[in-house]
Structure 1
Amino acid sequence: MTFDAPALPPSETPISVPDGALVVAMATYNGTAFLPAQLQSFVDQTRQPHLLLVSDDGSTDDTRAMLADFARTAPFAVQVLDGPCRGFGRNFASLLARMPAGTGWVALSDQDDIWLPCKLERACDRLAPVKGAAVYGGRALVAAGDLTRGRPSRGMGVSPSFRHAMARNYAGGNTMVLNRAGTDLMREAGQRLAAAPVHDWWIYQTLMGCGGTAIFDDEPFVIYRQHERNQIGSNNGIVATLKRLRNMVDGRYRDWTDANIANLDAMRTRLTPANAKLLEELRALRAQPFGPRVRAFARTGIHRDGLAGRLGMWASVLLGRF
């Protein structure tokens, strides 16, 4: 599998922000159906952002006009950038790569969720005591498109670690908030991007690989709309399990691992020595025949949480799809 350069749009520069500013980073594409409720939930936050920075991936509906109208009355600055138009993963990566200097906190946002009023305050309070690069994430309330309340998304069965990050993500990107050091790290990672990422998994892997901290909140502060246009969808239920099985069988999971390794390679100078060694072990074992591959993988300590997750991971290793 080969990869091309990320090709970030070079023509726009984000506006300056106060030192330590809280920035909401939202990726949009044809979002008019649900965008107004999400924008209002930003206004309703108990801790207001300084800037809403939007990367729009070539919307053909009224998304940009809606954002322009919102900017005229919003209690914080709003700027809309042109996205790379190469998928939502690259769109989020381009936002991080173009984050203004001095940004203290970055909260990632989808275009079709609703944030509970204390979401930003809660995340910043949890991140404040952490030294070094850190990301906050957590559960979400999964609801139907009409906001009929559903159940919380799955919890975190193990402690965050690089060995866990090599096998799966730990939280949805729509719940993630980065502290200042985490923002600086992901800005660098976005500028070095080697392959189209699953953006939230990429953030988790990069933070863990470089010795950072991941915080998981069991209390949900985001209402996640489950509808037919979701890019990834909820991780709950039999449908999600079948989708993961399909991704393994058709080789998509292996392609994701290829991309993950390429992006971690691009940040090799920032990885801890132990994690750089683990990355090399994973790269080497994937090319080995069945017996040596299985034994080598068992020695790495790479793991997933939950019985279904562990069975799926080992099935992918046995079938050469990891």
Structure 2
Amino acid sequence: MALRRPVSELIGPWEEFRRIIPLVSLKSLLAEHAVGVPKVAILMCTMQGQRFLAEQLNSIATQSHPRWAIWASDDGSADYTHEILEYYQAHWGVDRISIHEGPAEGSTANFLSLTCRADIDADYFAYADQDDVWEADKLERAVAWLESVPPDVPALYGSRTLLVDARNQHIGYSTLFEHAPGFRNALVQSIAGGNTMVFNRAARDLLRRAGEDAGAVTHDWWAYMLVSACGGRVHYDPYPTVRYRQHERNQFGSNRSLRAQLDRLRQLLQGRFRDWVDLNLAALGRVRPLMTPESRQILDEFASARRRALVPRLLGLRRAGIYRQTLLGNLGLAMAALINRL
């Protein structure tokens, strides 16, 4: 049996890690004595994440917003992921990072299980993937916008991303979306990755009421749909706050490449997009009483149009006002409607 390597060999340059330890301690001290600084619970899901996890944790440590705590839910990793989390916990303290066992049913189930945990108490909540790198002002920008929203109104922040390769080298940007977010868009598109999302307690309460078994396709698309459907506010920040790492083990990567777009077209033609919409509509049906009257009307018009013959289907979708963020996306939406794959 091969001997397991020391975890210290997997966290990158020791000098960088050693520099961050007192930084985290100082921020913890400042946060304890700061008046009115909101706490952010970082909901991180991990699975076989040893390759990039340390770099992500280091980027969280350097956030300009000082008051945060990581709740890491591991879905049964067989590599060094758990040991790396424990190594950081030993140096940062249990108040900064706690480690939990995920449901082992995929990333969406893992994120929703964390979201619905009653013992996580914070002012704001941020989703975090295991393999990205956060820009230093990510939480600060999100919190600044969230604090402009009344606390009883569900609010969701998301942003554009800077795309990097496995070595954290810049290779591009995610698509810049310019149309206002809203429920009519959320029904057919998720505009911000979960790795950029931060939301307030009212939005988190909505997600908890919907339940961790909501049945939606992905946690980030579900958050966008749910908040926009229930009268909340959604903000898309065109400033990239996350270095979104593209590598061979991405579960969901950027859709910018020609290969990715062709793959999306293939999925549309095969009916996979229609299957996703079916799942999302079923999930929305479970939370219908929480939705605004306007959102219920939009949902009914959209659901009814999908079941009709070609001409009534197109007219119904137009009446419902469903849209995607780009010209190409709307052309794909029109094609899906024409061939009854929506």
Partner of 2:57: 39
1:73 to 88, 91, 95: 91
Partner of 1:134: 155
User: Aligned with 2:126: secondary structure?
Assistant: strand
1:253 aligns with 2:273: yes
Aligned positions of 1:40-59 closer than 5 A = 40-59=58-77
Counterpart contact for 2:41–2:120, Cα < 8 Å:
no
Partner of 1:125: 144
Partner of 1:4: none
- In the alignment, the residues of structure 1 paired with residue 44 and residue 258 of structure 2 have an alpha-carbon distance, to the nearest angstrom, of 29
What are the ranges of 5 or more consecutive residues in structure 1 without an aligned counterpart?
A: 1-17
Partner of 2:3: none
Counterpart contact for 1:90–1:197, Cα < 8 Å:
no
Partner of 1:6: none
1:150 aligns with 2:171: yes
1:116 aligns with 2:164: no
User: Aligned with 1:297: secondary structure?
Assistant: helix
Counterpart contact for 2:108–2:217, Cα < 8 Å:
yes
1:278 aligns with 2:270: no
Counterpart contact for 1:140–1:152, Cα < 8 Å:
yes
Counterpart contact for 1:96–1:190, Cα < 8 Å:
no
Distance 1:142 1:185, change over 3 A: same
1:90 to 109, 117, 120: 109
Count of residues paired in the alignment = 304
RMSD: 1.7
Q: Please, what TM-score do these two structures have when normalized by structure 1?
A: 0.90
- In the alignment, the residues of structure 2 paired with residue 137 and residue 52 of structure 1 have an alpha-carbon distance, to the nearest angstrom, of 19
Partner of 1:170: 191
1:267 to 282, 287, 296: 287
- In the alignment, the residues of structure 2 paired with residue 225 and residue 27 of structure 1 have an alpha-carbon distance, to the nearest angstrom, of 16
1:161 aligns with 2:179: no
Deviations 1:227-265 (A, max 9, x none): 011111012132231122122112211111011111111
Deviations 1:5-49 (A, max 9, x none): xxxxxxxxxxxxx99531000111000000000011111111134
Greater share of helix residues, 1 or 2? Answer: 2
Q: Please, what TM-score do these two structures have when normalized by structure 2?
A: 0.85
Partner of 2:11: none
Distance 1:183 1:207, change over 3 A: same
- In the alignment, the residues of structure 2 paired with residue 68 and residue 120 of structure 1 have an alpha-carbon distance, to the nearest angstrom, of 24
Larger radius of gyration: 2
Partner of 1:309: 329
Deviation for aligned residue 1:99: 5.1
User: Aligned with 1:150: secondary structure?
Assistant: strand
Distance 1:43 1:101, change over 3 A: closer
By relative contact order (CA 8 Å, sep 6+), the higher-ranking structure is: 1
Counterpart contact for 2:157–2:199, Cα < 8 Å:
yes
- In the alignment, the residues of structure 2 paired with residue 101 and residue 54 of structure 1 have an alpha-carbon distance, to the nearest angstrom, of 12
Deviation for aligned residue 1:93: 1.3
What are the ranges of 5 or more consecutive residues in structure 2 without an aligned counterpart?
A: 1-31
